[in-house]
């Protein structure tokens, strides 16, 4: 914890909380505008609380201030390391006290690591027995755009990809997927998606995350990918409108193609109840061999064998400054990325002995 | 700025106008302050020339002429319908007021700078919007209602004004939800409820602007040479759930239709004057990118979102404590006694 001195306020209070019990901490010496003594605790190595501290340096380095943007990643990493050290009780205590870091997009590393990854662990390790290949091709730091195939009716492929990088990558980085606005419209699902690091599938969001040095995951097929029928399994759909390519060219961030094999068989969609989908306002309503036939039991996925392969980064530095304005180039490049992903899918399908092994 | 400014502040008896006037009171670069409102300012401000005039009245042009002001700060856009006697008079004040005021300003020869306070409410709140809204994000005017719509219309008049008078510098500040020790806003009363109704299954990302920072932003936008629309907000965000935890209150999650009813009930009880069109904020939240203000006029908020919330909490808590005057003497003594008893052990440890 030698770095605690330079951590900005949010993380600061957390660090001091653990080191010192409240009783041994001194109160701020300042007087508030109402004439009462300030009741906040003083910061470490200071006589004043963060509100009354005279030097504003700690404030300057807040993650969302321009200068402090690089710190965002650092803070996230900090919180991620913290959570692995935390005991369950401490984790709960912090939850209840509201004592945790959340970034501007709503990513809550402690919740993501402490809850989502714990829930995903048995699925990843034992159920789907995911084999992740080439995770080390993802850079240890700095932005990159992961472009993957989307499939499997519900988007557990996105979660599995997050899990693969969060556990098997040397730096245990967080993948920030961008998701359709429908996700954020839904109760419970929406806030949960945000807190586990997802953002809105909007150029502005992808751009903002990459600018902050994050690892962004996109599934350009969108609904067409997750909502496609069993017959079209592992056939990549149209790659949206190439928005991801524009963002990559604009930010000059490398693209890492990702192939996910296995998700198609987890929820094989044999039909689409269009009328029901329309009534509920969903883009599709899946009918699988077990859903909705078996009710909630039908939500249990089939235990298919999964492989996730991360390809070699495709650099974007060689293209001219205004390449993102050249629509033809954008479509052409998007197509090439799509081909790469498709080839990777075929390769991994061949490598897999069977659907369940 | 070699020349001293002559400033006219609209809404000078309301929160921001009053504090801005107070801020300018001892400022050497200000030659004269003119305050305009319908009510007299509750606090005496040195050197303030108060003019009681309705900005909806064309006479405002004569005031601008007579006071020879060169800077206009328009803070008179209200978000609380209750105070102005209903939604229709609120709209009248916000939209027609801004229209008349700017029409009068357009005629003024001396005017060099206009600062208008708008609000981030203008962006609305929707699930598919970018997570961090920049100023140039296309507004969806169709979905707007109430206060947001007033702001959008007011800004439209301001932009028209800017086009017709390119020689005048125009800064529009979209302030994020204000919070702090003294402000009485919808949000402040919402957070002061003993138990806080929330929408079940939703947890909006919120962002606050400390009241002192808001005044500072108006001041800097007024004094620094800048032109354009600027978001003004504290750094960082806070989830509503986390805010409630930090405040030490209890959430009451309600399913959405019930939440709407609850909002109506709270309003009719006079507890929270929360317009139903602002309910969406409590469902989907709203976060803006405030970096442009930093670049254009060097505004960097002193208080982060969380600090603003904590400052609000600490001062409200102090207010909640029984004050000496309103209580019988025996109770005051008992209270003092209990206070000593509870604080004594801590003191020994501290010493």
Q: Are strands A144-148 and B113-119 parallel, antiparallel or unpaired?
A: unpaired
Out of A79-93, A307-321, B44-58, pick the least confident: A79-93
Q: What CATH number does residue A292 fall under?
A: 3.40.1130
In our burial notation (b when 16+ CB lie closer than 10 A, e otherwise), range A265-283 reads bbbbbeebeeeeeeeeeee
Whether residue A262 is contained in a domain is answered as: yes
Whether residue A92 sits in one domain with residue A171: no
Q: Which of A40, A70, A97 is the last residue of a domain?
A: A97
pLDDT value for A149: 93
Q: Give the model confidence (pLDDT) of B244-285 as tens digits.
A: 999 999 999 988 888 878 888 887 787 777 666 678 899 999
* pLDDT tens readout for residues A257-310: 999 999 988 888 888 888 988 888 888 888 888 888 888 888 889 999 999 999
Classify residue A53: in a domain, yes or no: yes
**A222: phi then psi, degrees, rounded to nearest 5:** 60, -140
Is the pLDDT at A143 greater than 90, yes or no? yes
* Residue pointed to by tokens 């939500």: A299
In this complex, the residue of B203, B306, B318 whose CB is nearest that of residue A34 is: B318
Dump pLDDT digits (tens) for B294-330: 999 999 999 999 999 999 998 876 555 444 444 445 5
Asked if B235 lies within 8 A of A191 by C-beta distance, the reply is no
- The answer to whether B128 contacts A105, with C-beta atoms less than 8 Å apart, is no
Arithmetic mean of pLDDT over chain A: 81
Residue B200: its chain A contacts at CB < 8 A?
A: 187
Q: Are residues A73 and A218 in the same domain?
A: no
| Range(s) of the domain holding residue A143 | 110-351
Distance CA A179, CA B102 (A): 43
Binary contact (A51, B300; C-beta < 8 A):
no
User: Is there a domain that residue A230 lies in?
Assistant: yes
Instruction: Give the gap in angstroms from C-alpha B254 to the nearest C-alpha of chain A.
Output: 12
> Same domain, yes or no, for A87 and A122?
no
When pLDDT is averaged across residues B32-42 and rounded to a whole number, the result is 91
Residue A256 shares a structural domain with residue A318: yes
- A175 and A49 within one domain: no
Which of A36, A68, A97 is the C-terminal boundary of a domain?
A97
Closest residue of chain A to B345, computed from CA coordinates:
A23
| Residues 238-277 in B contacting A (C-alpha not used; CB under 8 Å) | 238-239, 242-246, 256
**Domain end position, chosen among A97, A129, A147:** A97
- Confirm if B202 and B278 have CB atoms less than 8 A apart: no
Q: Are residues A118 and A267 in the same domain?
A: yes
Same domain for A119 and A46: no
Report residue A44's pLDDT band, with 50, 70 and 90 as the boundaries. Answer: low
A356 in a domain, yes or no? no
Predicted pLDDT of residue A27: 58
Q: Answer yes or no: do A80 and A197 share one domain.
A: no
pLDDT at B344: 47
Per-residue pLDDT tens over the stretch B177-208: 999 988 888 888 899 888 998 999 999 999 99
Instruction: Tell me which chain B residues have a C-beta less than 8 angstroms from the C-beta of A17.
Output: none
Q: How many structural domains compose chain A? A: 2
Q: Looking at the domain assignment, is residue A165 inside a domain?
A: yes
Domain shared by A78 and A118, yes or no: no
User: Taking the model in full, what pTM does it have?
Assistant: 0.81
| Contact at CB, B200 and A187, closer than 8 angstroms | yes
What residues contact B54, with CB distance under 8 A and at least 6 apart?
B38, B60, B97
Dist. CA A100–CA A91, nearest whole Å: 9
Angle between helices B97-107 and B146-164 (to 10 degrees): 10
Would residue A44 count as lying in a domain?
yes
Closest residue, chain A, to B246 (C-alpha): A98
Q: Under an 8 A CB cutoff, do A102 and B201 touch?
A: no
Name every chain B residue with its beta carbon within 8 A of the beta carbon of A39.
314, 318
Per-residue H/E/C for A67-94: CCHHHHHHHHHHHHHHHHHCCHHHHHHH
Of A190, A95, A280, which is closest to residue B201 (Cα–Cα)?
A190
Residue B39 tokens read as 């009510």
If asked whether residues A117 and A233 sit together in one domain, one would say yes
> Is A103 domain-assigned?
no
Domain-located, residue A340: yes
Domain co-membership, A132 together with A204: yes
What per-residue confidence (pLDDT) applies to B336? 59
DSSP 3-state of B326: coil
- Do A78 and A131 sit in the same domain of this protein? no
């Amino acid at each position: 914890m030698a770095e605690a001195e330079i951590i900005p306020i949010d993380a600061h209070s957390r660090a001091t909380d653990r080191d010192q019990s409240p009783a041994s901490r001194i109160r701020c010496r300042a007087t508030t505008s109402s004439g009462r003594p300030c009741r906040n605790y003083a910061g470490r190595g200071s006589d004043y609380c963060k509100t009354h501290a005279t030097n504003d340096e700690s404030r300057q380095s807040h993650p969302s201030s321009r200068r402090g943007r690089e710190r965002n990643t650092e803070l996230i990493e900090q919180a991620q390391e913290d959570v692995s050290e935390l005991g369950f009780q401490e984790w709960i205590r912090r939850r209840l006290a509201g004592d945790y870091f959340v970034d501007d997009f709503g990513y809550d590393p402690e919740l993501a690591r402490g809850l989502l990854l714990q829930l995903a662990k048995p699925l990843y390790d034992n159920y789907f027995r995911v084999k992740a290949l080439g995770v080390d091709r993802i850079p240890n730091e700095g932005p990159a755009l992961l472009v993957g195939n989307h499939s499997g009716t519900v988007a557990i492929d996105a979660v599995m990809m997050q899990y693969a990088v969060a556990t098997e990558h040397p730096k245990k980085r967080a993948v920030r997927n961008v998701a359709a606005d429908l996700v954020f419209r839904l109760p419970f699902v929406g806030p949960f998606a945000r807190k586990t690091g997802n953002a809105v599938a909007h150029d502005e969001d992808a751009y903002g995350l990459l600018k902050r040095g994050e690892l962004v995951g996109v599934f350009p097929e969108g609904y067409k990918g997750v909502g496609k029928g069993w017959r079209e399994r592992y056939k990549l759909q149209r790659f949206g409108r190439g928005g991801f390519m524009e963002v990559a060219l604009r930010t000059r961030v490398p693209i890492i193609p990702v192939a996910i094999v296995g998700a198609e068989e987890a929820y094989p969609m044999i039909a689409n109840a269009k009328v029901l989908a329309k009534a509920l306002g969903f883009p599709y309503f899946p009918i699988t061999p077990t859903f909705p036939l078996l009710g909630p039991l039908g939500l249990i996925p089939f235990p298919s064998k999964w492989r996730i392969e991360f390809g070699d980064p495709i650099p974007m530095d060689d293209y001219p400054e205004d390449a993102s304005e050249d629509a033809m180039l954008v479509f052409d490049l998007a197509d090439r990325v799509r081909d790469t992903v498709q080839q990777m899918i075929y390769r991994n399908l061949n490598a897999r002995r069977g659907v369940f092994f | 700025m070699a020349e001293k400014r002559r400033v006219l502040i609209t809404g000078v008896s309301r929160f921001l106008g009053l504090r801005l006037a107070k801020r300018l009171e001892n400022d050497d670069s200000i030659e004269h302050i003119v305050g305009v409102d319908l009510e007299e300012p509750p606090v005496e401000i040195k050197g303030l020339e108060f003019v009681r005039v309705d900005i909806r009245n064309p006479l405002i042009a004569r005031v601008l002429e007579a006071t020879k002001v060169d800077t206009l700060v328009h803070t008179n856009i209200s978000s609380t319908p209750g105070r102005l006697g209903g939604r229709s008079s609120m709209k009248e004040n916000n939209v027609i007021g801004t229209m008349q005021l700017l029409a009068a300003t357009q005629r003024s020869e001396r005017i060099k700078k206009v600062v208008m306070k708008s609000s981030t409410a203008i962006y609305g709140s929707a699930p598919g919007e970018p997570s961090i809204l920049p100023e140039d994000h296309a507004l969806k005017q169709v979905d707007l209602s109430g206060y947001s719509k007033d702001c959008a219309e007011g800004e439209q008049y301001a932009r028209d004004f800017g086009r017709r008078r390119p020689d005048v510098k125009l800064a529009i500040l979209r302030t994020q939800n204000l919070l702090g020790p003294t402000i009485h806003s919808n949000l402040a009363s919402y957070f002061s409820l003993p138990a806080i109704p929330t929408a079940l299954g939703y947890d909006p990302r919120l962002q606050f602007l400390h009241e002192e920072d808001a005044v500072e932003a108006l001041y800097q936008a007024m004094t620094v040479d800048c032109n354009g629309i600027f978001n003004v907000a504290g750094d960082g965000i806070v989830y509503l759930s986390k805010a409630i935890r930090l405040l030490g209150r209890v959430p009451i999650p309600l399913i959405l239709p019930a939440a709407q009813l609850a909002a109506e009930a709270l309003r009719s009880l006079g507890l929270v004057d929360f317009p139903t069109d602002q309910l969406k904020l409590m469902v989907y939240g709203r976060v803006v990118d405030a970096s442009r203000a930093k670049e254009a006029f060097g505004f960097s908020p002193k208080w982060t979102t969380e600090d603003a919330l904590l400052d609000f909490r600490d001062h409200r808590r102090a207010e909640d404590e029984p004050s000496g005057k309103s209580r019988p003497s025996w109770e005051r003594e008992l209270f003092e006694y209990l206070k000593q008893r509870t604080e004594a052990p801590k003191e020994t440890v501290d010493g």
